[in-house]
Amino acid sequence: MPTSAKRHPLTSEQSAQLRDDLAVIEERLQAVVVLMRACYGEQSQVAIRAEETSGALQRLTWELERVQEKTQTAGG
């Protein structure tokens, strides 16, 4: 049975820290993708998984932006 949890929006400080953290992760992940391609080849499963991880991070970033836009629109 699902329970409802009380949700709290991110503070502006948390939001800024999250943006910074995601930028660092994206930069490092791109370096990993390049390394995996160079070491294992572009068609290797390792390189493909690294690229998929990078894509997942991008989708997370886009979703966070959409949620922020909705919140700003609803808040006025």
Per-residue pLDDT of 5-19, as tens digits, reads 888 888 999 999 999
Q: What is the pLDDT of residue 7?
A: 84
Per-residue pLDDT of 19-76, as tens digits, reads 999 999 999 999 999 999 999 999 999 999 999 999 999 999 999 999 988 877 877 6
Q: What is the pLDDT of residue 44?
A: 98
Residue 2 reports pLDDT greater than 90:
no
HSE-CB of 54 using CA atoms within 13 angstroms: 16
Q: Which residues lie closer than 8 Å to 7 by C-beta, 6 or more apart?
A: none
**Tokens of residue 7, six digits:** 């949700």
